[in-house]
Amino acid sequence: MPHPHVLLSAAVSLDGYLDDTGPDRLLLSGPADFDRVDEVRASVDAILIGAGTIRADNPRLLVNSPERRAARIAAGRPAYPLKVTVSGSGDLDPTARFWHTGGAKLLYTTDKGAERARTNGLPTPTPDTTPTPDTATEIVPLGPDLDWHTLLTHLHDRHGVRRLMVEGGGTVHTQLLTQGLADELHLVLAPLFVGDPAAPRLFGPGGYPPGRLRLLESRRIEDVVLMRYEPTAPGPAEVPFAADRHWLRLACALAADCPPSRTAFSVGAVVVAADGTELARGHSREGADPVVHAEEAALAKIDPAEPRLPGATVYSSLEPCAHRASRPRPCARLILDAGVRRVVTAWREPDTFVTAADGTGLLTTSGATVVVLPEYEHQAKSPNTHLLG
């Protein structure tokens, strides 16, 4: 299901702590970095924090710059991003500043948590009142347990959230990263130590995605350092990870490199090992071969004896073909013969050139898993609009 782009944002001490155990919040960064955070807030559709952060920090979670708020309004957006929190228990202070500042608020909780939140008197709109910043809190029960996939899908589909900033706390960051739902990490490193084992840490124990994160940027801001990372390792068989979205975006971008054709689709493909290492990439009609397909071009660059192939994922902007006239073996068969058993694609092949195209059927009946991420279908179709009417 479509999810927003999830950006985790945090500042930590050199020894990995979010705060100390004192009565006041430990300020880890300075004015210049606070302004950078304000700029990021102004760029997103929603900001999410855990209930623990509301209890510990009592944040307002606002866009502070009047100029940035004005720019949002001029672009047809609300002055403030949607403010979102998550609480399994629903035990939240109705007087907290989170509920009474900024624009619309949203609480995701369990069925029992929703009852408790309403009993506690959280400011929520009623049928006979017009929602205001103080009363526009929507309570969304997710069932007996909290589920991040359901939560993110709801944010995307019901509230139009395409970019979500997550500001804490450590439990929320850990859950999103270990479940492969984080697309980006903004980590600010402050030049101090906390040294208290009772203090909150950024990440707790868990089954984190394998492989190294990719460093996108490193920037000095006064006396702190901002580091931006993105995950790289593919997800498990049937569950898309944030890294899957990264690699599929790349495959779709590669499709734009294809020489144009009136008789074949433009397709990009990337083969990625389970540890997040890119093994090869390719695109349709690459090099001197006018009929080579993207998956075929990528696989041809890999030694058939490569031990990482059986655990690799093939990312293809278009569903691998099951029938073709230009080669004896279609791309779905090439993938299976290479030992790959996981494919992520954006777009099922239409019947433009082949009747009853079904590369997914060929792959799945042979034991492979196919994950379709339809949110990238438009990007995959973009270099092929001349073939789609």
Residue 256, token pair as written in the block: 């734009």
Torsion 91-95-96-100 (CA) sign = positive
Residue 242, token pair as written in the block: 């944030």
pLDDT of residue 125: 56
Q: How confident is the model over 199-227, as pLDDT tens digits?
A: 999 999 988 877 788 899 999 999 999 99
Q: Is residue 316, in this structure, part of any structural domain at all?
A: yes
Same structural domain for residues 275 and 372?
A: yes
Average pLDDT value for residue range 266-276: 95
Q: What is the pTM of this model?
A: 0.79
pLDDT band at 1 (very low <50, low <70, confident <90, very high): low
- Residue 134 pLDDT > 70, yes or no? no
Residue 321, token pair as written in the block: 């073909």
Residue at token pair 């993207």: 294
Q: Is residue 106, in this structure, part of any structural domain at all?
A: yes
Same structural domain for residues 43 and 170?
A: yes
296 vs 318: CA distance, rounded Å: 13
Same structural domain for residues 191 and 257?
A: no
What domain range includes position 246? 242-387
112 vs 41: CA distance, rounded Å: 31
Same structural domain for residues 225 and 253?
A: no
Contact between 337 and 331 under an 8 Å Cβ cutoff? The reply is no
Q: Is residue 235, in this structure, part of any structural domain at all?
A: no
Which of residues 320 and 133 earns the better pLDDT score? 320
Peptide bond into 169 cis (omega under 30): yes
pLDDT band at 133 (very low <50, low <70, confident <90, very high): very low
Q: Is residue 237, in this structure, part of any structural domain at all?
A: no
Average pLDDT, the chain: 92
Among the three residues 181, 208, 230, which one is the final residue of a domain in this structure? Answer: 230
Edge-first strand order for the sheet with 224-230 is: 137-141, 105-109, 82-87, 46-50, 163-166, 5-12, 184-189, 224-230, 214-221
Same structural domain for residues 191 and 250?
A: no
Residue at token pair 């949607």: 82
Contact between 271 and 307 under an 8 Å Cβ cutoff? The reply is no
Q: Is residue 292, in this structure, part of any structural domain at all?
A: yes
Q: Is residue 181, in this structure, part of any structural domain at all?
A: yes
Q: How confident is the model over 93-119, as pLDDT tens digits?
A: 999 999 999 999 999 999 999 999 998
Q: Is residue 255, in this structure, part of any structural domain at all?
A: yes
Same structural domain for residues 268 and 383?
A: yes
Average pLDDT value for residue range 179-202: 95
- Residue 300 pLDDT > 90, yes or no? yes
Average pLDDT value for residue range 130-159: 83
229 vs 104: CA distance, rounded Å: 30
Contact between 142 and 171 under an 8 Å Cβ cutoff? The reply is no
pLDDT band at 233 (very low <50, low <70, confident <90, very high): confident
Among the three residues 180, 199, 230, which one is the final residue of a domain in this structure? Answer: 230
User: Which residues on neighbouring strands pair with residue 282, listed in sequence order?
Assistant: 269
* Phi and psi based region of residue 20 (left: phi greater than 0; alpha: psi -120 to 50; beta: remaining): beta
Question: Could you tell me the CATH number of the domain that includes residue 346?
Answer: 3.40.140.10
Contact between 148 and 181 under an 8 Å Cβ cutoff? The reply is yes
Same structural domain for residues 209 and 248?
A: no
Closest CA to 180 of 386, 21, 371: 371
91 vs 120: CA distance, rounded Å: 7
Contact between 363 and 336 under an 8 Å Cβ cutoff? The reply is yes
Same structural domain for residues 166 and 91?
A: yes
Same structural domain for residues 27 and 101?
A: yes
Same structural domain for residues 331 and 267?
A: yes
pLDDT band at 128 (very low <50, low <70, confident <90, very high): very low
Q: Is residue 236, in this structure, part of any structural domain at all?
A: no
Q: How far apart are the first and last CA of the chain?
A: 27
Least confident of 2-16, 125-139, 363-377: 125-139
Q: Torsion angle, CA of 268/274/279/285, rounded to 10 degrees?
A: -20
Q: How confident is the model over 17-44, as pLDDT tens digits?
A: 999 999 888 999 999 999 999 999 999 9
Q: CB-based contacts of 37: which residues, under 8 Å, 6+ apart? A: 9
pLDDT of residue 211: 77
CA-derived radius of gyration, the chain: 24
At how many degrees (to 10) do helices 66-74 and 31-43 cross?
Answer: 10
Name the strand (E) or helix (H) holding 190: none
pLDDT of residue 318: 97
Question: Could you tell me the CATH number of the domain that includes residue 217?
Answer: 3.40.430.10
Strands 105-109 and 46-50: unpaired
What SS3 class is residue 230? strand
- Residue 309 pLDDT > 70, yes or no? yes
pLDDT of residue 127: 47
- Residue 3 pLDDT > 80, yes or no? yes
Among the three residues 178, 210, 230, which one is the final residue of a domain in this structure? Answer: 230
Number of CB atoms found within 10 A of residue 283's CB? 27
Number of structural domains found in the chain = 2
pLDDT of residue 132: 47
Same structural domain for residues 32 and 165?
A: yes
pLDDT band at 120 (very low <50, low <70, confident <90, very high): confident
Same structural domain for residues 217 and 269?
A: no
What SS3 class is residue 388? coil
Exposed, middle or buried: residue 252 (CB in 10 Å: 0-12, 13-18, 19+)?
buried
Backbone angles phi, psi at 179, to 5 degrees: -90, 5
pLDDT of residue 232: 85
